[in-house]
Chain A
Amino acid sequence: MDTSGLQGYSGTTKELLERENVRIGDEIEVISNGKRYRGILMARYELSDPNYITLKLHNGYNIGIRVTKGVRVFKISAGVKPAFVRPPKPQILSDLPSVIIVSTGGTIASRVEYRTGAVRPALNADDLLAIVPELAGIARIDTEILYNVWSENIQVQHWIGMAEAVDRLIRKNVDGVVLTHGTDTMGYTAAALSFALQKPPVPVVLVGAQRSSDRPSSDATTNLIAAVATAAKAPFGEVVVAMHKWHSDDVIALHRGTRVVKLHTSSRDAFHSVNSRPIAYYQHGELRVIADDLNPRGSNEYICKPKFDARAFLIKFFPSMKPDILNILADIGIKGFVIEGTGLGHVSSNWVPVIKELTEIGVFVGMTSQCKFGRVNMNVYDSGRDLLRAGVVPLDDMLAEVALVKLMWILGNFGDRAELEDIKELMLMNVAGEIRSRTLPNVGG
């Protein structure tokens, strides 16, 4: 945290500003090349060129002024800290279901300070309700800040923490839980929670945004409203992901946690269900459930197993890839592999002896397909049959990422005492809708 009041400034520029006793937010005048510029001193990004001053002019525009020898700076007046006036809080209706919004990172709702461009996340329930007042008509909202991590920095211990937090809330008899999550690894977390919280009595809904919440066009609020409505009212107890179905702000898809994957870098409809359809859609304030094999809300079969062991590895096979990498990884302690093979589940034939060695010493090797859609079948070609004989376990229609998370979960819960046969059996057993024997044609969604 920068305490100088000159965030982002360094070197001679910072010295110049310090000499004039200027802080970010102050009104200043800069004279450069005989021209005068008046405005508010703004922060600079850490990685931008150090030889510039960023000034917000009176018309609201920012410009950067090059600091050369002749440049002079005068302080006109000290900055005024803006006082935030919260809009009136909507009335809380006590007969509504209770939903807790657990924040793990990213910002699902923000305020912008137009004077400095600073974006401040709304983290407590009151702020959130002030910004998204629609929520007050759906549920009694409370919020909890669990983490503030970028989604790419999520580790297995965060999965464990999230599962434990949700478990605690379930035991407090809330009617639903919403987790806000960065979108990059939200699919992995959804899978992890699906295994850790089996057949939960209430919906557990992960939600994110592809456009940040400081923009008027953000998908955050529509996604959040759908997520809260699902948590409050859905007839099922499942771990789901709530995100846009398409480019439009109208339909939100609810994807099963073990079937969902991020397939686009930036689009609102980045999340898709693979080898399965979304289990429900939210539109015009209504939840339309289309899956029929769901764990009903209030079921008493809930099991919480919130343990993970990160010593599993996902390998994407590519032409001319050498198998030695498997040995190297096993040597540093990797206890199981999920391979993303080609087509129906293949890797180069020179991998067969290496895989055989590994399975013989008790290392798990499972096969999924980099085709993403469809089921592996290793009986069709000789190469597949050779791999089967070497001990590879075909993982049916499981997504590679989900298989990896499941393997971490199995290693975490049955860990060092687990026999290879036990791991195999569990990997092939349907725990949370991640593996199914029937493949249906892709009918959209």
Chain B
Amino acid sequence: MEDYSGIGLKVGLEIHRQLDTKKKLFCECPTEEVGDGEGIEFVRRLREVQSELGTIDAAAKFESRKQKTIVYHANLKNVCMVEMDEEPPHNLNPEALDVALIVTLLVDAEPVDEIHVMRKIVIDGSNTTGFQRTCIVGIGGRIEVKNKIIPIQTITLEEDAARIIEVRKDEVHYDLSRLGIPLIEVSTGPVIESPEEAMEVAYAIGRILRATGKVKRGIGTVRQDLNVSIKGGAPVEIKGVQELELVQKVVENEVKRQLHLLRIKEELLKRGVKKEDILNAKPVDVTRVFSKTSSKIIRRQLEVGGVVYAIALKGFAGLLGLQPLPGIRFGAEIAGRVRAWSEVEGIFHTDELPGYGITLEEVKALKDVTGAGESDAIVIVAAERDKTLDAMDVIKERAAEALDGVPEETRAARPDGTTVYMRPRPGSARMYPETDIPPIIISREYIERLKMRLPPTLDSIAQKLVEKYGLSKQLANDIVDSDMVEDFEDIVSKTGAPYTVVASTLTELLRSLRRDGVNVERITKAHITRFFELVSSGKVAKEAARDVLAAVAQKGQDVDRIVDELGLWSPPVSEVENRIRTLVKEHEKEISADEKRAIAKLMGELMKEYRGKVDGALLNSMLVKTIQTLKSKDV
């Protein structure tokens, strides 16, 4: 466990979430994906519009260097000429604006008096226009999480980007269906001080957004970006954390990565390595060394006319392979950077060699040719000549940055909670006004009207469930977080089934079934309602819930038929009463000797017979009652 306050951890969050509006942000296309529309494909190229300042933004330069032909796929049920960039944007969607302003008010932020839609340059192809339309709707709010005030910097409304579907050598393919779906972004100040707190704040913001009732749920609808820095490090932006649960892990990993980089810096300084040593190193053509190599990757490159280059990194011996944790390794930093810039596959360093088919003799030869000493490391790249030389530059640059410790950069989150280099951090935002959309005045009257109809917070909804149905606070929150409030109230009012049982069925039971691999999507509200109707009328025991619902999901049949097949109908009460009476009579002696023990034994027998068919508590009370009756007769 790291001492997060000791290392000065500071995290800021940007929570992005798709809005569940009827239409997209700047056109009338539906935001729900319609699968079977007529499709067209078209080809585009984007080019960076030169800045008046003439300076070249690192992130933009990076994108333009990677420029490929862009192929767009448009499903005409979800895409019109606006997403194709063949028609100017329509007016800002008022439904989306309402939601963004409501969120602004819910986090105590100030609505902007006059909204200006901006163009944020993005030329990787994810926007057909080459920019993302975005606007600030609210500024400067606050939320409280565990008695700490978390400042909210901005609430923005923007268009979601196109979804990448395929990357080929010279082409990148995008599907346009998602382009233009409204996204809300809530960003916090960098005041979060632990990975756990980062997750709590993300959760709290998620609950505020969901209170609007107008956000989408499910895969790909939420994206969390994190800004993470520690003392002595630099701000690193991590993009695209999709799962809430991953926020904590990503922050933990990033802290470990930055600490590792700081340790490497320290070690390099101790070894007396200077930046110039790295920057002045000359790449050497070592293709000859590998003319008879048994490394498959290198051989494949050489067969198609590729070359192998090597560069010696002074004082790096042992540091590239040093891996305090899986995935955190300076060698991976270099490889990640190289792959992002020039897409080469064959990259190795001497800390991992001999290996990968590369022999000790080849490693020795590398040391001879490059003149690397015992304390130096060598990185080699096998690819086309141009790409190899590019890669050599990137390696030098990244290795030299090791002496600064943590480089400022943008990284992408991976599903396992590690991150990978994505691109340099953009400089001052490249934004200019979207002249196709006039500024939008937000009148005081409009804000007052919205204030009158602010939705209740999820906390207050959960509190109501506690009060009205006597649910535990945890169960009530669970119902709220699973978006089951409406279903819950509906089912209990229709069936009169016990509240807590219905609530835990809708939450814990469904979750547990899903964990066990049951396809719970096939269980409908009608199935659950019917089941509890049967429970309420005493025809099925509530204990049968798991078996019945699992079978419903598996077989897709209706509840009554499943209960039939599983033989789970409760026997008639008279039958159970008779059975109990017989049992009690048979054990009269034992009962009078030790009533408690006898009851336990008889309950065991009854449960054996009626498990899943008759409610256990009911059996118990029937048994006790029968014994009482018997005893009263004795008197």
Chain A residues within 8 Å of B, Cβ to Cβ:
32-33, 35, 37, 45, 48-49, 52, 54, 57-66, 82-87, 110-115, 117-120, 130-131, 210-211, 213-218, 221-222, 246-250, 266-268
Contacts and interface: CB of A to CB of B under 8 A. Distances in A.
Contact of A216 (B46, B115, B154): B46
20 contacts: A35-B140, A45-B438, A57-B136, A60-B120, A61-B156, A63-B112, A63-B115, A63-B139, A65-B114, A85-B54, A85-B55, A112-B52, A114-B430, A117-B432, A130-B50, A211-B85, A247-B40, A266-B81, A266-B87, A266-B88
9 pairs of A and B residues whose beta carbons are closest in the complex: A216-B130, A64-B114, A60-B429, A85-B54, A113-B52, A60-B431, A62-B116, A117-B432, A66-B113
B54 A64 contact: no
Interface string B266-304: 000000000000000000000000000000000000000
Majority SS at the chain A contact face: loop
B52 A216 contact: no
A85 B118 contact: no
B136 A114 contact: no
Interface in B43-58: 43-55
Contacts of A218: 47, 49
B114 A114 contact: no
B52 A111 contact: yes
| Residue among A58, A86, A216 with max Cβ neighbours from chain B (10 Å) | A216
Contact of B51 (A54, A111, A210): A111
Contact of A61 (B45, B52, B54, B135): B135
B110 interface: yes
B439 A115 contact: no
A113 B51 contact: yes
Contacts of A115: 52-53
B52 A118 contact: yes
Nearest to A36: B140
Contact of B129 (A114, A131, A216, A266): A216
B4 to A, nearest CB: 27
A62 B86 CA distance: 26
Given A112-B52, A216-B123, A63 B46 contact: no
Given A48-B439, A117-B432, A112 B51 contact: yes
Contact of A35 (B50, B139, B431): B139
A222 B70 CA distance: 14
Given A60-B431, A115-B53, A216-B130, A222 B110 contact: no
Interface string B128-160: 111100111001100000000000001010000
Nearest to B47: A216
Contact of B130 (A45, A113, A215): A215
| Residue among B55, B84, B136, B156 with max Cβ neighbours from chain A (10 Å) | B136
Given A217-B46, A266-B88, A64 B112 contact: yes
B433 interface: yes
A65 B84 CA distance: 33
B16 to A, nearest CB: 16
| Residue among A58, A65, A112, A217 with max Cβ neighbours from chain B (10 Å) | A217
Given A216-B47, A217-B46, A268 B86 contact: yes
Contact of B136 (A63, A84, A249): A63
Contacts of A49: 114, 439, 441
A112 B114 contact: no
A86 B129 contact: no
A250 B85 contact: no
A247 B80 CA distance: 12
Given A52-B113, A52-B114, A247 B52 contact: no
